[in-house]
């Protein structure tokens, strides 16, 4: 093979390739991050610090008692002081979230693949998936808790119900969005159903699936928290929602805020992780992940 193309490599034939090569233009970096990324980090951070300062100031100026509205410093102190209990609860909530998300991915993708193989299956089952999605989880959670018996299992089921539909519907859309001519080409070469699925439809569905995953990641957390609120007290090991309820009853409002903060940060972390996975998988080829000069 000849030498790989470099920045100055002139394509051998087409004189019209000016736009062909320099997509991955290098940007100057500051402290390891591209220079363009800093404002995106610093601007919201500045707003956040400002808001927290105002909050702290307002609480102190007006002498608002901690059981009505604790200042951010007190919330931070509580977070550190109660880290033992809170981190245990966080772990339980996250475990349910990730198990529910994993189940949502497995069931959502499997159903989507089955639905695209059989129109009958899709026609018969999709309406029920929609019903499951549109029924408010708080309304059916008590029933699920009664039926499942085990509290952890029922929380898992609730979170899964909330999380799985975006993955299902997005993956169905993605599987059906493979280029029609490519489908014809596979047909021409006598590709089996499995080959068409493996080499064409699943890769074509990947960006759609990942978009669904980003939504479902947050929803799984919400589902886990909401279900635990409905379940109320659970045995010895309890998640963050239970801590919030418990602290509310005891008027330990700073702890409510601390738990709330942990839930929000977990949600943000899940979003960042799923976005990062999506970026890694799509950066070489998908429009959404490519940088454009104009």
Partner 1 sequence: MDTAYLSRPHEEQAGGANPLVSVRNVSKRFGNGTLAVHDVNLNLGAGEFISLLGPSGCGKSTLLRMIAGLGSPSSGTIEWPTTGRDATGEPQRDLGFVFQDPTLMPWATALANVMMPLTLKGVRKSEARDRAAAMLALVGLAGFEKSYPRELSGGMKMRVSIARGLVLRPKILLMDEPFAALDEITRHRLNDDLIELWWKEKFTAVFVTHSVFESVYLSKRIVVMAARPGRVMADLDVDAPYPRDELFRTSPEYAHLCRVVSGKLKEAIGS
Contact footprint for partner 1 (CB under 8 A): 1-5, 9, 11-17, 19-21, 23, 179, 181-182, 184-191, 195, 199-200, 203-204, 206, 284-287, 290
Q: Give the shortest CB-9-to-partner 1 separation in angstroms.
A: 7
Residue (192 or 236) nearer to partner 1, CB: 192
Task: List, in sequence order, every residue forming a beta bridge with 30; answer none if it has no partner.
Answer: 33
Q: Are 104 and 220 in contact (CB under 8 A)?
A: yes
The dihedral through the CA atoms of 254, 256, 257, 259 has a sign that is positive
Dihedrals phi, psi of 29, to nearest 5 degrees: -115, 145
Sign of the C-alpha dihedral, residues 270, 275, 278, 283?
Answer: negative
By C-beta, is 6 or 62 nearer to partner 1? Answer: 6
Closer residue to partner 1 in complex, CB, 23/53: 23
What's the min distance (Å) between Cβ of 51 and partner 1? 41
Distance, in Å, from the CA atom of 48 to the CA atom of 46, rounded to the nearest integer, reads 5
Indicate the length of the chain as a whole number: 294
* CB of residue 287 to partner 1, shortest distance in Å: 8
In angstroms, give the least distance from the CB of 26 to partner 1. Answer: 15
- The residue among 9 and 38 lying less far from partner 1, judged by its C-beta, is 9
Determine the Cα–Cα distance for residues 166 and 105; give it in Å rounded to an integer: 10
Q: Which is nearer to partner 1, 142 or 203 (CB)?
A: 203
Q: Measured from the CB atom, is 15 or 149 closer to partner 1?
A: 15
Query: Rounded to the nearest whole angstrom, what is the least distance from the CB of residue 172 to partner 1 in the complex?
Result: 19
Angle between helices 202-231 and 151-175 (to 10 degrees): 150
Q: How far apart are CA 126 and CA 169, in angstroms?
A: 9
Tell me the closest approach of the beta carbon of residue 8 to partner 1, in angstroms: 13
Distance CA 156, CA 94 (A): 11
Residue 29's SS3 state is strand
Alpha helices, H only, the chain: 38-62, 72-81, 83-117, 119-134, 137-148, 151-175, 180-188, 193-196, 202-231, 240-249, 253-282
Q: How far is the CB of 24 from partner 1 (least distance, A)?
A: 9
Task: State which residue, 40 or 193, has the beta carbon closest to partner 1.
Answer: 193
């Amino acid at each position: 093979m000849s030498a790989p193309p470099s920045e100055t490599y002139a394509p051998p034939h087409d004189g019209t390739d000016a736009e062909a090569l320099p997509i991955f233009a290098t940007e100057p970096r500051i402290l390891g991050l591209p220079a363009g990324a800093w404002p995106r980090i610093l601007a919201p951070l500045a707003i956040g610090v400002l808001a927290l300062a105002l909050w702290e100031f307002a609480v102190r100026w007006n002498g608002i008692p901690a059981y009505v509205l604790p200042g951010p410093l007190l919330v931070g102190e509580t977070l550190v002081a109660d880290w033992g209990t809170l981190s245990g609860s966080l772990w339980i909530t996250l475990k349910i979230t990730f198990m529910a998300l994993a189940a949502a991915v497995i069931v959502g993708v499997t159903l989507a693949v089955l639905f695209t193989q059989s129109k009958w299956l899709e026609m018969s089952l999709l309406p029920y998936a929609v019903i499951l999605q549109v029924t408010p989880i708080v309304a059916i959670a008590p029933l699920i808790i009664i039926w499942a018996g085990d509290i952890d299992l029922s929380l898992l089921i609730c979170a899964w119900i909330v999380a799985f539909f975006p993955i299902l519907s997005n993956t169905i859309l993605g599987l059906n969005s493979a280029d029609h001519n490519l489908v014809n080409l596979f047909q021409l070469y006598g590709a089996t159903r499995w080959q068409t699925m493996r080499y064409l439809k699943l890769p074509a569905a990947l960006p759609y699936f990942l978009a669904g995953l980003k939504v479902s990641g947050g929803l799984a957390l919400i589902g886990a928290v909401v279900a635990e609120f409905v379940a109320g007290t659970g045995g010895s090991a309890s998640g963050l929602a239970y801590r919030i309820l418990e602290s509310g009853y005891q008027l330990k409002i700073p702890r409510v805020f601390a738990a709330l903060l942990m839930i929000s940060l977990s949600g943000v972390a899940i979003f960042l992780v799923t976005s990062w996975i999506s970026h890694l998988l799509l950066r070489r080829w998908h429009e959404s992940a490519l940088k454009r000069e104009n």
